[in-house]
Amino acid sequence: VPRHYSTSPSKPSTVTLNGKSYPCDDHTNVPPHIAQCLSRKLHLIPNHPISITRSLIESQFPSPVYKSYNTLLPVVTVGQNFDSLGFPLDHPGRSRTDTYYVNKDTVLRTHTSAHQADTFRLRESDGFTISADVYRRDAIDRSHYPVFHQMEGARMWSRDSVPNGDIAAAIWKEIEQMPRHDLKVEDTAGAWDAERNPVQSEHTDAEAEAVAAHLKRSLENVVVEVFGQARKAAIAAGEAKESEVEEPLKVRWIEAYFPFTSPSYELEVFWQGDWLELLGCGVVKQELLKNADCNDQIGWAFGVGLERVSMLLFNIPDIRLFWSQDARFLSQFTPSTITRFQPFSKFPPCHKDVAFWLPSSTTSAAGGNTMGVFHENDMMEVVRDVAGDDAEDVRCIDEFVHPKTGKKSLCFRVNYRSLERTLTNDETNQMHEKVRQALVERYGVELR
């Protein structure tokens, strides 16, 4: 497998993903270590914590109202991932520093929302969930990995099939039938702030209010069910006191912005002393529904990060563990059950720094953002490519512009640590030397 995919003169003319070959062009930036992840499908392995989390949340959105789609392929068009959702052309998410391009028209989906429009268009049910692997060029640390999993959820109501076309009344009637939960909810989201988080001109306030209420209640019920079970597991493991557990769980709604919903919210949960972001959601933009031939409908959508939830439920301290093929990891889990992860002993870390001057007019080979500078995500990718999951985190610890030459210097600290064994000094030195050489070869930096 060629490791140098970006600047090497023998750049391949096609890239193979899930057994299918796609033509490359100057947008292509999918490295082999990412291409290899496509076949893993962690969300479909029955005793894997990502899959257990998926099916627990899915069970809160039962059929026949909700249909679940869990095998949609990750290679999508720029149209599906961005255009259909109303992302402006200059949105940073579209840049090659943030997104894996198969070629200029095709990307690895960055979120499950890439499938919203197509799934609305199918009209196979009143609601749906979509669970899948998603891909982003991003930081390296214990909570970020370039591949993670999301679940999209959506619910629609057609104006043509409710009494008198009164969607709001129909939704409120449904909400009355929903289970009431014991949850402490803070709601500071500026839902009705016409400027910051407006109701769409196509909707009445009453409609948007009903849709948002149904959305919030549905997701609050997920938190009660899923985190309620996690609490029991924590008590059983002797981690939490029974007395703490008499307090209701706490969540809060925060105002948010997404190009494809309005109003929009984020949901946070208070868990072991911190507020943690779980998901983004909102009332679906009518433009999107119209383009999917569903202008008779209005509805909500959400997108939740399954690793985030799973790390909390199972007490998994490092996101790399989800990719472990080590039996000491996988053998700990049972389908449909939340148990607390028992860490195998922690192996020693080893920090190494690399400092370098950027060439004066760098064009980032893999990233190539419009500023024509080296992007932090380029560093992340070099490390992932060389060290794989033996890199625990990478941080920029110094940035400096020479007052006379105007040249820029960066210093990164790479923390090497295997989850499965102790790395020898020699191994770590060799990996670090490869990182240094790859920076020179791919980006023309001058090592200091």
Query: Which residues sit at the interface with ligand FA5, rule CB under 6 A?
Result: 111, 113, 136, 138, 144, 148, 150, 152, 258, 261, 277-282, 301-305, 307-308
Quote the CA–CA distance of 170 and 164 in Å, as a whole number.
10
- Closer to ligand FA5 by CB, 250 or 408: give it: 250
In the bound state, the residue with its beta carbon closest to ligand FA5 is 305
In whole angstroms, what is the distance from residue 314 CA to residue 333 CA? 9
Give the nearest distance from C-beta 413 to ligand FA5 in angstroms. Answer: 20
CB of 312 to ligand FA5, least distance (A): 11
Spell out the residues 6+ positions from residue 176 whose beta carbon is closer than 8 angstroms to its own: none
Closest to ligand FA5 by CB, 297 or 362: 297
For residue 111, the minimal CB distance to ligand FA5 (Å) is 4
Question: Measuring CA to CA, how many Å separate 39 from each of 20, 342, 399?
Answer: 12, 27, 38
Smallest gap from residue 115 Cβ to ligand FA5 (A) = 10
Q: Between residues 221 and 409, which has the closer beta carbon with respect to ligand FA5?
A: 221
Going from the C-alpha of 33 to that of each of 239, 305, 321, 383, 402, the distances in angstroms are 37, 22, 16, 11, 35
- Provide the minimum distance between the beta carbon of 94 and ligand FA5 in the complex, in angstroms, as a whole number: 14
Q: Which residue has the tokens 């057994």?
A: 19
**Any bridge partners for residue 249, and if so which?**
183
Q: Give the nearer residue to ligand FA5 in terms of CB position, either 253 or 443.
A: 253
Q: How far is the CB of 129 from ligand FA5 (least distance, A)?
A: 11
**Shorter beta-carbon distance to ligand FA5: residue 320 or 417:** 320
CA 197/CA 262 separation, integer angstroms = 6
Shorter beta-carbon distance to ligand FA5: residue 395 or 434: 395
Please give the structure tokens belonging to residue 115. 């499938």
Q: State the Cα–Cα distance between residues 122 and 110, nearest whole angstrom.
A: 22
Query: 54: which 2 tokens?
Result: 């998926």
Cβ-based nearer residue to ligand FA5, 93 or 359:
93
Q: Tell the residue number behind the tokens 């998603």, with chain if given.
A: 134
What lies within 8 Å, CB to CB, of 211 at 6+ separation is 157, 167, 171, 203, 283, 298, 299, 300
Question: Minimum distance from CB of 68 to ligand FA5 (Å)?
Answer: 16
Least distance in Å: CB of 377 to ligand FA5? 11
The CA angle 227-233-236, to the nearest 5 degrees, is 145
In whole angstroms, the minimum distance from the beta carbon of 209 to ligand FA5 comes to 18
Q: What angle do CA 268, 270, 273 make, to 5 degrees?
A: 135
Q: How far is CA 407 from the centre of its chain?
A: 35
Closest approach of Cβ 308 to ligand FA5, in Å? 4
Residue placing its CB nearer to ligand FA5 in the complex, 148 or 374:
148
CB within 8 Å of 315: residues ≥ 6 apart: 234, 237, 239, 340, 341
Burial of 151 (0-12, 13-18, 19+ CB in 10 A): buried
Closer residue to ligand FA5 (CB): 67 or 407: 67
Total H helices, total E strands in the chain: 11, 17
By beta-carbon proximity to ligand FA5, the closer residue of 138 and 296 is 138
Q: What is the distance between the alpha carbons of residues 269 and 303, in angstroms, rounded to a whole number?
A: 15
User: What does the buried/exposed string (b/e) look like for 307-336 if buried means 16 or more CB atoms within 10 Å of the residue's CB?
Assistant: bbbbbbbbbbebbbbbbeeeeebeebbeee
Report in angstroms how near the CB of residue 79 gets to ligand FA5 at its nearest: 16
In the complex with ligand FA5, the residue whose CB is nearer, 74 or 282, is 282
